Structure 1
Amino acid sequence: MVRLSRIWQSDSLQNQTYSLNYLAPLALTGTSSSLSVLGSICIFLSFYKDKKKDFSFRLLVYLTVADLFNAVGNFLGVIRYSRFGSNRIIGQSASCDSDELCVSQSFISVTASLASFWWTFLATLNHLLHYRGSRVLEKGFLQILCHVIGWSFPLVIAVTALSFNVLGEGYSSSSGPWCWIKDCEDIKLNPVIWMAITGKFWEVLTYLGIFAMYLVLIFLKVKQHCRSRKMTSLGNTNAGPSYESIPISNYSNDQEPSIDDRFGILWIFLYLYVTRISGTVRYFILVVHNGSPYLPIVDTIDFVLMYIQSVGDSAQAFVNFIGLILIPYLSSKLQEKKYNNKRIYSQIM
């Protein structure tokens, strides 16, 4: 049985209770979830206004749909936990109890998180293939296949967990103030195994897959750089101009980085690790302790990571909006203003 052993308080062996303080995590999760909903809407509007609507932007939209549902699910958790106040006292006998809102929210969060991992991995693969000059994923049949896998596979896992009656109240074991896997002795398999099946295994697999593709991309770029230097040393002057060689007098909005350039492997790598790694670390802490009491230093680390997770797990759509839409837009306006100022100055001179 998985327990938050560090917060158990016992008056007697027959009367065990523990207290959970959710005030700060509720505020953090509610804020980040709300920002993600707003960020999702802005990404959808940006896609609607975009004339090209290329495949990379479409992948960002599909990922945003998953992240939007994840944020909504976590916000439902905030609403549910808010009913209990900032502190909740739970008896040992109540550890298997889960209401319909808790189970529904857990189902939404599991499905959305798994879909988010899939579309994140697919966006990384697409960027690597684009670098190699391949657009194979944009073919009609493969696009349909990507959608079938990306939405049906998470649903199958969530429905399976629901059928085994393992979705529900976990009292923030490796999660924030929302429901996930029941902290209960009566469920089949250990709860940490269900946590792996419904999220953590696929999350770690996504980490490793993206990291591997990032290393491959670095290798290809280094290889291309070495080849270019070799061609330059041999006197080959037929190479196209670099970004640095574009004169400012020819600046236009068409020279802005495309969504494919912005939605690259490095950004995906950082976006996923920064927002999700705290929850993964907490999961492995839980697995290592296997229900035994946490040491004080581990207890402190787990609390800090819980606060970070409360923000990160709900903020993915908002982070993508900031990094892929808002910052490039502001940067474009700044570049355009610099160009206009320089042109006015040159005309005066």
Structure 2
Amino acid sequence: MASQLDLTTSAITCVSASLSVLSGLAILWSYRQFPQLQNFTRYLLVCLTVADIFTAYGNFISTFRWFSNGNNATKTDGFCIAQSFLTTTSTLSSFFWTTAIAVYLFSAVALRVNIAEKPGVKLSMTAIPIIVPVTITGVALGYGALGEDDYFGSGPWCWINRDVNNRLMWKVVTGKGWEIMTYILTLVIYILLKFFKWRESRRHNRQFSWSDTDLSLRDADEIFEISWLFLLVARIWGTLRFFLETFDVHPGDKLQNTLLCMQCIGDSSQAFWNFIFFFTLDPELRKEIRHLICLRLHGLVHVHCSL
């Protein structure tokens, strides 16, 4: 039978991933339901959310492997490799689209160049975060790097085969290197955006809004300025475990298990955090949803509705 820690982390992952999938589907629904709120920023958010849904789904189905197989789940099998390919690819795509959003907003706000309007840019910013991760993960698959890692770097899901040569290199190439790069790039870009807003506000002696530079931007999109923060909060636990393993640091079982549990929550919850910040905290979206609900109630009990 699997250990108590295995069962606990599997249960945590299952709950976190389930919330993430449902939250991600709500974001996709809102994008389709309210075309008046669509712009390129939210289009990239949809792409990011799809990637996060796949990650959460892969982590979710991996928990059933632990629940059903117990200790036999520590052996690499076809299901494990397929799940690792899915979640490794989707996680890399998530990093790429997070960076793409930051680059697009910086170009539109600070440089006053809407790159989305240039021929081929939308296609490129959609295709590259898919093609490059698939290529990276495909190479890892070809070298037999994907498989069961026995919790060395992940939770109850498969990632890098614990028996592969140069395991540290594969972890950097298939995830951690891109993850840390995403932290740094998005933090720098959003600091520059903050500085630009401050400078423009002082220059014009009024509060600067993103829509002042490009009418295709919504003021509600300014919440993306802190997207790097909740990406960091969600995934820092796995990164800390990665560095502890890399430098052969052993802080004790209690801290190790705590970091593992936090990683099981964070690595599966990104679509949920997207929902919190870009769905529930979007005033225009909340207004449209309230109006939609009111219209539905109006058909039932004749409630008066107005925007």
What does 1:176-325 align with in structure 2 at a 5 Å threshold? Answer: 176-184=155-163, 187-188=164-165, 190-229=166-205, 258-262=219-223, 264-266=224-226, 268-289=227-248, 294-296=250-252, 299-325=253-279
Deviations 1:318-339 (A, max 9, x none): 1111221123359955xx99xx
Partner SS, residue 247 of structure 2: helix
Q: Verify: 1:117 aligned to 2:113, yes or no.
A: no
Match of 1:9 in 2: none
**Superposition deviation, residue 59 in structure 1:** 0.6
SS in 2 for 1:84: helix
Deviation at 1:222, TM superposition (A): 2.7
Q: Classify 1:332/1:310 alpha carbon distance in 2 versus 1 (closer, same or farther; 3 Å).
A: same
**What is the identity percentage for the equivalent residue pairs of Structure 1 and Structure 2?**
33
Q: Which runs of 5+ in 2 are unaligned?
A: 210-217, 292-307
**Code of the aligned partner of 2:105:** H
Q: Are 1:130 and 2:108 counterparts? A: yes
Relative distance call for 1:120 and 1:171 in structure 2 (3 A) is same
Q: Given residue 304 of structure 1, which amino acid in structure 2 is its aligned partner?
A: T
Whether the aligned pair in 2 keeps the contact of 1:56 and 1:259 (CA below 8 Å) is no
Structure 1 residue 302: Cα displacement: 2.0
Q: Which amino acid aligns with 1:312?
A: G
The 3 A distance-change label for structure 1 pair 149 and 242 is: closer
Measured at CA, do residues 71 and 200 of structure 1 come closer, stay the same or move farther in structure 2, by a change above 3 Å?
same
User: For residue 54 of structure 2, what is the amino acid of its counterpart?
Assistant: F
In 1: Cα distance, 2:72 partner to 2:51 partner: 33
**Bigger radius of gyration among the two:** 1
Q: Which residue of 1 aligns with 2:120?
A: 141
Q: Which runs of 4+ in 1 moved over 6 A?
A: none
Alpha carbons 2:220, 2:282 under 8 Å: kept = no
Please give the alpha-carbon distance, in whole angstroms, between the structure 2 residues aligned to 1:64 and 1:71.
10
Instruction: Name the CA distance, whole Å, in 1 between partners of 2:3 and 2:114.
Output: 54
Matches of 2:240 and 2:99, distance apart in 1:
20
State the Cα distance separating 1:79 from its structure 2 match. Answer: 1.3
Larger % of strand: which? 1
Displacement, 1:140? 3.5
Q: Residues 52 and 271 of structure 2 are in contact (CA less than 8 Å); yes or no, is this contact kept in structure 1?
A: yes
Unaligned runs of 5+ in 1: 1-17, 230-238, 244-256, 338-349
User: For 1:174, what is the secondary structure of its paired residue?
Assistant: coil
Contact between 1:112 and 1:154, CA under 8 Å: does it hold in 2? yes
Q: Deviations over 1:16-50 (max 9, x none)?
A: xx967312111111011111111111111100112
Identify which of 48, 52, 56 aligns with 1:71.
56
Structural mapping, 1:62-101, within 5 Å: 62-85=47-70, 88=71, 97-101=75-79
* Within-5 A mapping of 1:332-343: 332=286
**SS in structure 1 of the partner of residue 144 of structure 2:** coil
Size of the aligned set, in residue pairs, is: 278
What is the TM-score of this pair, normalised by structure 1? 0.74
Q: Is the 8 A contact 1:127 1:265 kept in 2?
A: no
How far has the Cα of 1:116 moved from its partner? 0.2
Matched-pair contact (CA < 8 Å) for 2:7–2:66: no
| Alpha-carbon separation, structure 2, partners of 1:242 and 1:183 | 51
| Residue in structure 1 matched with residue 27 of structure 2 by the alignment | 43
1:274 is paired with a residue whose SS is: helix
Calculate the TM-score normalised by the size of structure 2: 0.83
Letter in 2 for 1:211: L
Question: Are the equivalent residues in 1 in contact too, given 2:48–2:98 (CA < 8 A)?
Answer: yes
**Equivalents in 2 of 1:89, 1:62: separation in Å?**
35
Q: Which has the higher contact order (CA 8 A, sep 6+)?
A: 1
